[in-house]
Amino acid sequence: MSTKSARCLGAAAALAALATAQQASAYCRSNTCKVSELCLQDDLPVGYCRPLRWTSSCIGFNVQEDASGEISYQEISDVLDAAFRTWQEAPCDGGRPPGIRVQNLGPVSCGAVELNARDGKTRIVDGLVPGNANVVVFRDMDWLASAGHRSEMLALTTVQFDKNTGDLWGADMEINTDLYDFTVGDDSAAPREDLLAVVTHEAGHFLGLDHTLAGPEATMHDRYDRSDPMNFRTLHADDIAGICQIYPPRDLSTAECNPIPPHGFSPECADDQLVACGVAPPGAGGSGWSVPLAAAALGAAAWLRAGVRGRRERPRRGRPAAGERGAPAVR
């Protein structure tokens, strides 16, 4: 048995011992281990699986500038602002909000799921330091052409992190507008999917939450019910407990808010960059991983290294009939 496997199994045993104490909450935190159905809530001793979190109290995201053929850039931007605001305004102890701020940094040209750093070190391309962006991109075509994408997925969030510490380095969100129609606002006519409901769920993944063990009323439940999108738009007590545990309330000043990604920022993909701006020191040492959250309808996690995917053209193509799709799932 490898050392990593032993550690992960040890973490599972430790979690079993803590089960009684954790029955009051069913939220789960995304973590560094490749153990399916492993639900972390609190930190474990060093050497075990590590839960994921942003170490900075201020993070940013960008919307890919092409938006979608059926939803405008401004509509998408407004919906994402509302989704992240829902998490930022969760009432923690004493009614105070979580100690995390998320800023919309505007449009970017890059639509690739990538992280321009490896093994805890800044990546050098032709003598330059390429920056990064946490991108939200709408896939209007060829959803199934990418590894890890399946027809029943409404959306997929991929996070990159230090596997030794759980520190998040980057997160990218992909919306499946190739196979599904989305609606903006309160028009919930079937078979259209509620964009705000779906991206509020994905924002939870972006911030470090995994699928909950709670019922379907929770935002982080893994199945989306289009007949009642308000379940995903509004946080359940379990969702609130999770975000407040990851980011306890703290006083945040505007002066200390720096949303630049840990390895620097750029609106362009690595191969297109001539220069990067706002380069920050690299994160903690150690190898990094990329994980789509989560990649199987039954909850099994699929893991892979961060891959660079080129930009795609935006023409629409015919969608499969409703009966040809799997049950909608959010990842």
Could you give the C-alpha distances from 63 to 17, 137, 196, in angstroms and in order? 42, 6, 15
pLDDT interval class at 127 (50, 70, 90)? low
The pLDDT of residue 228:
83
Please indicate, yes or no, if residue 248 is contained in any of the structural domains: yes
Query: What pLDDT was estimated at residue 40?
Result: 78
pLDDT score for 186: 77
Position 135 in a domain: yes
What is the extent of the structural domain holding 219?
Answer: 53-330
Residue 71 is assigned to a structural domain of this protein:
yes
Q: Which residues contact 74 (CB under 8 A, 6 or more apart)?
A: none
47-62 per-position pLDDT tens digit = 678 899 999 999 999 9
**Count of the separate structural domains present in the chain:** 1
CA 195/CA 155 separation, integer angstroms: 10
In a domain, 34, yes or no: no
CB 303 within 8 A of CB 147: no
Per-residue pLDDT at 134: 93
User: How crowded is residue 81: how many other Cβ atoms within 10 Å of its Cβ?
Assistant: 14
Q: Is residue 24 part of a domain?
A: no
Tell me whether strands 153-162 and 329-330 are parallel, antiparallel or unpaired: parallel
pLDDT of residue 35: 64
| Residue (of 315, 40, 306) closest to 147 by Cα position | 306
Instruction: Give SS3 for 235.
Output: coil
Does residue 151 have a pLDDT over 70? yes
Is 88 among the domain residues?
A: yes
Which among 243, 192, 172, 157 is positioned nearest to 71, based on CA atoms? 192
The Cβ of residue 105 has, within 10 Å, a number of other Cβ atoms equal to 18
Closest CA to 156 of 141, 138, 169, 170: 138
pLDDT tens-digit map of 285-329: 334 444 555 322 222 222 222 222 222 233 333 343 333 344 466
| C-alpha–C-alpha distance, residues 17 and 141, integer Å | 46
Question: How far from chain centre, in Å, is Cα 58?
Answer: 15
pTM: 0.75
Cα–Cα distance for residue pair 65/22, rounded to 1 Å:
43
Sorted by sequence, the CB contacts under 8 Å of residue 164 that are 6+ apart come out as 32, 50, 284, 285, 286, 287
What is the separation, in whole angstroms, between the first and last Cα of the chain?
30
Tens-place pLDDT, residues 282-292:
332 334 444 55
HSE toward the beta carbon, residue 270, CA cutoff 13 A? 23
CATH of the domain at 162: 3.40.390.10
Is a pLDDT exceeding 60 seen at residue 147? yes
